[in-house]
Structure formats: structure tokens, C-alpha cells
Structure 1
Amino acid sequence: MDLPPLSREQLAAVVASAQSPTELYSTLSEYESEACLLSTSDATQAELLSLYYSTFFFSHLLTDQICEARLSTKRMPQDLLQNDPSLQNCLNLLRAVWQRKYEQVYTILRALPWSEPLKPIVQSYDAHFQEKTLKELSRAYEAIRPAAAATYLGLDPASVEQGDPATMQKFIACGWTWEEETGLLHPKPIIEAPQDDTKLYNELSEVMALVGSRRV
């Protein structure tokens, strides 16, 4: 079935109707050949290209295709990539994710300016990255200091150091245990169930609903 022509309205419709990150990525992939025909010298088309490539970039990250995300930046119009604020933010985010600079990832997602159409997918990736990191921590550590765990998950390490019970409760709610004598948290490995392809912005687990409410 032929897709409607690429436009800001169509991009918004694609994001809103996607039943999963995989579906979003697949649909946006079909628009890449059309995007290649647009000109960056036309201001309206350049704005559309910025929104399309930024959204397509995040669809790579939401499906954990980090290498493919790097390759996608090579296919973008390089003059637009070097001068467009949203695409520059995407490049900075890619570097931080690739280099596993957790604090920087959250700072880029939460502190840098993102256009209004991109904010929902930026927030979705924030939650996705946090959930993914939580699962990695649960498998990698038998014990971890609360402030370090908070930093990995984009929570406030200072509040943990001050003994904030609300922040500590977020870890305990994930099944982790707190050993007061040593000052260590003991993660509980999180068993991943088969992922249900529900609405794009509602696919996160109840665990991350508990963990994700506190921001740095």
C-alpha cells in the first residue's frame, strides 16, 4: 500500500499511530527515498527534513540499532546535519550513547532544546534508555552504591547520599535489597518477558513507571 506523501502532518500521524518502535522504524524507512529527493536549499523542505531525520534517528535508538543510527547520519544531507540544531543534538546523543556516558545521555535528552514535535519521542527514548540500563545493572552487579545506581538511571545521586527514602524506595520497588551495614544495594536480576507490541509510548514496564518519576 502506498504511503501518503511525506509532510509534517504525516510524520505526526505515523508517530501517533505506531503500535511499536519496530513499526515506527519500518514505516519511516519507507520514506527515506522520498526524503532524499527534498532540497535543503528550500527552507520549508529543510525544516521537514530536519524533523524526518531526527524522528528516524530516534526510531533507530528505540529499536537498539546503534550502529545503524551511526550509518543513518552518513546518509543525511551533511550541510543540514552540520547546521541544524535538532540534528546536532542527535549527533551529541549518539556519541554519548555509543561511549556509554550515562549522565551525558540524560543531560542531552532533558536539558538540550528539542522542538515540540520531537519531545514525545525524546521522552520515550529517555524512558527506554533508563529501563534498558536498569536491566543491565541488575545483571552486571551483585552490589552497587546507591549514588552510583542513581547516576546510571538519571536519578539524583545527592538525594540518595542524603538518605532520601523516596529515591531508595524506587530501587526497593524493583526487587533490589538495601544493606544498611555496608551501604550497598543488591540488584535483583530482571527477567525479560517477551515484549508486547502495544502503543509506542505505553510499552514501558511498571518497574520504570516507579523508577522514572524522579529526574536529576
Structure 2
Amino acid sequence: MDLPPLSDEQLALVVASAQSPANLYSTLSDYETEACLLSTKDGKQAELLSLYYSTFFFSHLLTDQIREARLSTKRMPQNLLQSDPSLQNCLNLLRAVWQRKYEQVYTILRELPWPEPLKPIVQSYDAHFQEKTLKELSRAYEAIRPAAAATYLGLDPASAQEGDPATMQKFIACGWTWDEKTGLLHPKPIIEDSQNDAQLYNELSEVMALVGNRRT
């Protein structure tokens, strides 16, 4: 069945109705050929292309296709990529994710200007990145200093290092233990379960609340 023509309204509907990141990625992939036919010289079409390619880019990240996200930037109209603020933000984010610069990732997601229609998916990736990092920490460390853990998870390192109760509770809520004598956190390994993409997509906002969606 043919898809409805790509438009701002249709793109918003695709994002709102996607049952999972994988579903969103699949649908946006089907629109890529049509997007290639739009002109960047037409102001309205250029705005649509910016929103489409930015959304498509985040659908790659939400499905952990980092290499493919990198390749997708090569298929974008290069004149638009070099001049559009949102796509420039995407490029900066890609570099930070690729190089595992955790603080920079959170700064880009939370402090750079993003257009209103894109903000929900930006926030979803913030939550996804935190959750993924939390699982990586739980497997990689038997003990870790609170400031380091906070940096990885986008929390305030100074508050964590001082043992701020509200900050420490966010770690404890994840099953970690806090040894006040040694000043170390002991992560609890998080076992991957059989949750499907749809459940994960619906629970991203809960993850944000769990590990803190903003530094204070």
C-alpha cells in the first residue's frame, strides 16, 4: 500500500503513531526516496526536509544503529546539512555519541536549540542513552565513585560526590548500593530481559524519571 505523501502533518502522525523505535525507523526509511526528490531551494520543502532527516537520524540512534546514522548523514542534501541548525546539532551529537563523550551528549540534547516538533524524540533519546549507559555501567563496574557515575548518567557530579541524598537515591532506586565508609557506589548488574521495542518505547519517560532527566 502506498504511503501518504510526506508532509509536516504526516511526519507528526508517523512519530505519534509509532509503536516502537524500530517501527518508526522502518516507516521513515520508506519515505527516504520521496525525501530525495524534494528541493532544498524551496523554503517550505527545506523545512520539511530538515525535520524529516532530523527525525530519521534520531530513529537510527533509538535503535542503536550508530554506524548507519553516520551513513545517513552522507545521504542528506549536503547543502542543507551544512546550513541547517537542527542537522548541525545532529552532526555534533553523532560525534559525541561516536566518541563516547557523555557530558557532551547530554549538553547537546538538553541545551542546544531544537525545534518544537523534534523535542519529544530528542527527550526520548536522552532517556534511551541514559538507560543504555546505566546498563553498561552495571556490567562494567563493581565499584565506582559517585561523581563518575553521575557524569555518565547526566547528573550533577558535585552533588553526587557530596553524597546528596536525592542524588544518591536515584542510584539506589536502580538497585545500586552506597558504601559511605569507602565513598563508593556498587552497581547491581542489570540483566537484559525480553521486553520488546514497544514496551521500551513506552517506558522511556519512566527511565528519565528514574535516573534524572536534567542536571541540577
TM range (shorter): over 0.9
Deviations 1:43-89 (A, max 9, x none): 01100000000000000000000000000000000000000000000
SS at 2:204 equivalent: coil
1:15 alignment counterpart: 15
What amino acid sits opposite 2:204 in the alignment? L
SS at 2:6 equivalent: coil
1:81 alignment counterpart: 81
Whether the 8 Å CA contact 1:18–1:199 is kept in 2: the answer is no
Equivalent residues, number? 216
Unaligned runs of at least 5 residues, structure 2: none
Task: Work out the CA distance in 1 between the residues paired with 2:116 and 2:201.
Answer: 16
Deviations 1:155-214 (A, max 9, x none): 011111232101001101111111111100010100111123437752338555321344
What's the offset of the Cα at 1:28? Answer: 0.0
| Identity percentage of aligned residues | 88
Deviations 1:109-162 (A, max 9, x none): 000000000000000000000000000000000100001000000001111123
Task: Work out the CA distance in 2 between the residues paired with 1:169 and 1:103.
Answer: 21
Task: Work out the CA distance in 2 between the residues paired with 1:205 and 1:157.
Answer: 22
Task: Work out the CA distance in 2 between the residues paired with 1:213 and 1:166.
Answer: 13
Change (3 A) 1:71 1:179: same
Alignment TM-score, normalising by the size of structure 1: 0.96
Task: Work out the CA distance in 2 between the residues paired with 1:134 and 1:205.
Answer: 15
Whether the 8 Å CA contact 1:197–1:203 is kept in 2: the answer is no
After TM superposition, the structure 1 = structure 2 runs for residues 14-163 of structure 1, keeping only pairs within 5 Å, are 14-163=14-163
Unaligned runs of at least 5 residues, structure 1: none
SS at 1:198 equivalent: helix
Task: Work out the CA distance in 2 between the residues paired with 1:167 and 1:114.
Answer: 27
SS at 1:142 equivalent: coil
After TM superposition, the structure 1 = structure 2 runs for residues 158-169 of structure 1, keeping only pairs within 5 Å, are 158-169=158-169
2:5 alignment counterpart: 5
SS at 1:203 equivalent: helix
Task: Work out the CA distance in 1 between the residues paired with 2:178 and 2:200.
Answer: 33
Whether the 8 Å CA contact 1:38–1:49 is kept in 2: the answer is yes
Task: Work out the CA distance in 2 between the residues paired with 1:106 and 1:209.
Answer: 15
Whether the 8 Å CA contact 1:18–1:200 is kept in 2: the answer is no
Task: Work out the CA distance in 2 between the residues paired with 1:213 and 1:91.
Answer: 22
What amino acid sits opposite 1:162 in the alignment? E
Change (3 A) 1:75 1:45: same
Task: Work out the CA distance in 2 between the residues paired with 1:200 and 1:51.
Answer: 24
Whether the 8 Å CA contact 1:146–1:157 is kept in 2: the answer is yes
Alignment TM-score, normalising by the size of structure 2: 0.96
Deviations 1:18-61 (A, max 9, x none): 00000000000000000000010110110000000000000000
RMSD of aligned alpha carbons? 1.5
What amino acid sits opposite 1:210 in the alignment? L
